[in-house]
Amino acid sequence: MTDNPFFETWTTPYGLPPFDRIEPAHFIPAFERAMAENLAEIEAIAGSAEAPGFANTIEALERSGRALNRVSAVFFNLTASATTDDLDAIERDMAPRLAQHHNSIALNQALFARVADVHRRRNGLGLNEEQMRLLERTHLGFVRSGAALSPQSRARMAEISERLASLHTAFSQNVLHDEKEWRLVLGAGDLDGLPAPLRDAAAQAARERGLDGQWVVTLARSSVEPFLTFSARRDLRQKAYEAWTRRGAHAGDHDNRPLIREIVSLRAEQARLLGYSDYAAYRLDDCMAKDVAAAEGLLSQVWEPAKRRATAECARLAELARAEGMNEPIAPWDWRYYAEKVRKAEYDLDEGELKPYFQLDSMVAALFDTAGRLFGLRFRERTDLALYHPDVRAYDVVDGEGAPIGLFLHDNFARPGKQSGAWMSSYRDQETLDGPVLPIVVNNNNFAKGSPTLLSFDDAKTLFHEFGHGLHGLLSQVRYPSQSGTAVRRDFVEFPSQVFENWLSAPDILRRFARHADTGEPMPEALLQRLLSARTFNQGFATVEYAAAALLDLAFHTQAAPDIVDVDAFEDEVRRRIGVPAEIGIRHRPAHFGHLFSGGGYAAGYYAYLWAEVLDADGFAAFEESGDVFQPALAARLKDIYAAGDTRDPMALYQAFRGRPPEVRALLAKRGLAA
């Protein structure tokens, strides 16, 4: 195929993929050529007649695989946010082939021998801190991939990796299948309790599915959660909740439970081959936490206080429900509905009253303003670029001197063919190894499109959270690609995103950007103060829902030889053992827990959000203590963290910013769990 865009040098701004020319048929030839080029690069390094050195081995590895990285970045971003049946088929085909390719590099004995030789002599090579860390992390990566194992064990590691790649892909596609297939179609008599913005979004979702004159609730969180919050129809709430929590758990071709059993078993075998007692011990050994005891210790500090608070919250919900004539116990599909009523009663806050003040475009302006005041960045929209979907907006990012920093893509709306949830990714990462390379960063959200699009306060927090990840990629200032942006320890990567959420609640930001969608008037000061005073409302529920998922994750991955016959029964046993209240569901049930089973990224690492929240609560407290949430010296030190990527130890980075190690008390206060 001679007209394949992947076989050309892209002259587009920032090297943006030419989306208007890329077709599904281009990917397999592009992958195949890129893999062949990558293997030739590896053979040249491994077979070099020169003595191993940092430049000809470690830096040469950093230069290898650029073509493959380019194809992979485009392909996997599209399968996440704009997939098709053709792309899904290609992903099923390529997942094991790519795993096999990466294994052939990670387990290449001649290559590992050169890396190990350089590593043994590292203290006499005159390396700077950044280079020393790159060398140590590169060597560790080979060891953790199995390069130091016996030939038989290496072969088994390769088999496991290839099988896991197929299982992860199938898991993700099964969840997406259920999300695409299910819809709750509402008639005019089914709308009781739904505020006008939610009705408008449901009508828009119906029109997109050819159901004009009706209303549709989908399994996107931005659709189903508001429905559970406002619908006065308990029968429909139950129907929506059960569909939401049963994604991936329907018997048949798209059932993820058999996949989970195999994934967990294969991961445990990987860990045993590498000399670890279980998969969690293997994963946490390369995290800030270092071991399971530290992760469980953090979770235990919040678990019992959260359950106590949730019990009190539930009693208040039940009291209100009885007053309204419901004598049945509070069920998981009731919690959000009655919590909203309690919030209105106790704080005079109504989500329907708040939402008009959180218009998407205004909140995007708040993001950009905050990044400007903290880090000197400016965002200029580009309307001349060919993008992969009409929903996507693109922005030049420049510093205070007008110098370009990178390109930011914002993809905010739920749609068929897009994974649920919210995430940051990139089409190109920053580096300077062979000259400046500017990043192309994308934020994905799944908001329900409206005219205008109105967000809940939690939606707006998600917007800020993902933008924090985006800034981590955009502000990166590193030499080597593998140290760029978010390529940091799993339990540190959430710190830059979570700390950025705090600026949404800064009164100055709310006063300037929380303006009514219809009138343009700022949020009344009394409403603003009620909103801020309610920040710890329902935090027992929120903490239990999250921490239960993190404890379930560790339960799956702390077994030396898992033999999970029934995934649902295993989940139920964990719930009973840790004491999850019956009225609260786990935030992610196993069959749709993509953090764990759509890939290995957060496996045995879902605790990381809470770990990072300790850092974020403690870190933002520094700004509050200064009396200025935009305090320039603190902002400069925070920017250093965003810029550093993986060039320094994360705890050293944090302490350079804060002046001391983090303390958990700020987290407990932030969640309203302090004694």
**What integer is the mean pLDDT of 142-166?**
97
CB 654 within 8 A of CB 641: yes
The pLDDT, as a whole number, for residue 153 is 98
352 pLDDT exceeds 90?
no
Name the token pair of 387. 């993008």
CB 124 within 8 A of CB 132: no
For 494-511, what is each residue's pLDDT tens digit?
A: 999 999 999 999 999 999
% of the chain exceeding 70 in pLDDT: 100
DSSP annotation of 423? E
**What integer is the mean pLDDT of 41-65?**
98
Rounded to whole angstroms, how far apart are CA atoms 643 and 494? Answer: 15
1 pLDDT exceeds 60?
no
**What integer is the mean pLDDT of 33-60?**
98
**What integer is the mean pLDDT of 476-482?**
98
Identify the structural domains of the chain with CATH numbers, from first to last. 5-106+108-145 (1.20.1050.40), 182-245 (no CATH), 257-349+539-606 (1.10.1370.10), 356-533+609-670 (1.10.1370.40)
The pLDDT, as a whole number, for residue 334 is 98
> Which of 63, 58, 61, 62 shows the shortest CA–CA distance to 121?
58
Rounded to whole angstroms, how far apart are CA atoms 217 and 272? Answer: 45
Which residues are tagged catalytic?
Answer: 466
For 455-466, what is each residue's pLDDT tens digit?
A: 999 999 999 999
The pLDDT, as a whole number, for residue 2 is 64
52 pLDDT exceeds 80?
yes
Amino acid identity of residue 541, one-letter, is F
For 622-635, what is each residue's pLDDT tens digit?
A: 999 999 999 999 99
Under 8 Å CB-to-CB from 670, ≥6 apart: which residues? Answer: 536, 613, 617
Q: What are phi and psi of 635, to 5 degrees?
A: -60, -40
Rounded to whole angstroms, how far apart are CA atoms 575 and 552? Answer: 8
Rounded to whole angstroms, how far apart are CA atoms 88 and 151? Answer: 34
C-beta neighbour count of 20 within 10 angstroms = 10
Rounded to whole angstroms, how far apart are CA atoms 377 and 188? Answer: 47
Rounded to whole angstroms, how far apart are CA atoms 417 and 360? Answer: 22
DSSP annotation of 381? E
Long-range contacts of 451-455 (CB under 8 A, 24+ apart): 451/200, 451/204, 452/359, 452/360, 452/361, 452/517, 453/201, 453/359, 453/360, 453/361, 453/412, 453/413, 454/197, 454/355, 454/356, 454/358, 454/359, 454/360, 454/517, 455/355, 455/358, 455/359, 455/360, 455/363
Rounded to whole angstroms, how far apart are CA atoms 259 and 591? Answer: 9
CB 528 within 8 A of CB 506: no
Side-chain-facing half-sphere of 494: CA atoms under 13 Å: 21
Name the token pair of 370. 């905050």
For 376-404, what is each residue's pLDDT tens digit?
A: 999 999 999 999 999 999 999 999 999 99
**What integer is the mean pLDDT of 150-171?**
97
List strands edge to edge, sheet with 423-428: 378-382, 393-398, 404-413, 440-447, 423-428
Amino acid identity of residue 306, one-letter, is A
% of the chain exceeding 90 in pLDDT: 97
Sign of the torsion formed by the C-alpha atoms of 286, 291, 295 and 301: negative
Q: 């403690």: which residue's tokens?
A: 618
Name the token pair of 252. 């048949």
Q: Is 441 left (phi over 0), alpha (psi -120 to 50) or beta?
A: beta
> Which of 557, 521, 234, 231 shows the shortest CA–CA distance to 357?
521
Give DSSP secondary structure letters for 395-420: EEEE-TTS-EEEEEEEEEE--TTS-S
Rounded to whole angstroms, how far apart are CA atoms 609 and 494? Answer: 6
State the virtual CA torsion across 231, 232, 234, 236 in degrees, nearest 10: -40
Rounded to whole angstroms, how far apart are CA atoms 644 and 206? Answer: 45
Question: Distance of CA 479 to CAs 436, 538, 569, 646, Å?
Answer: 9, 44, 49, 11
**What integer is the mean pLDDT of 641-649?**
97
For 392-441, what is each residue's pLDDT tens digit?
A: 999 999 999 999 999 999 999 999 899 989 999 999 999 999 999 999 99
Confidence of residue 674 (pLDDT cuts 50, 70, 90): confident
Give DSSP secondary structure letters for 120-147: HTGGGTT--HHHHHHHHHHHHHHHHHTT
Question: Distance of CA 641 to CAs 196, 500, 504, Å?
Answer: 42, 12, 20
The mean pLDDT value of the chain amounts to: 96
Three-state helix/strand/coil letters over 214-243: CEEECCCHHHHHHHHHHCCCHHHHHHHHHH
CB 279 within 8 A of CB 267: yes
Confidence of residue 337 (pLDDT cuts 50, 70, 90): very high
What's the full length of the chain, in residues?
A: 675
- For the ranges 144-153, 218-227, 309-318, which has the lowest average pLDDT? 218-227
DSSP annotation of 449? P
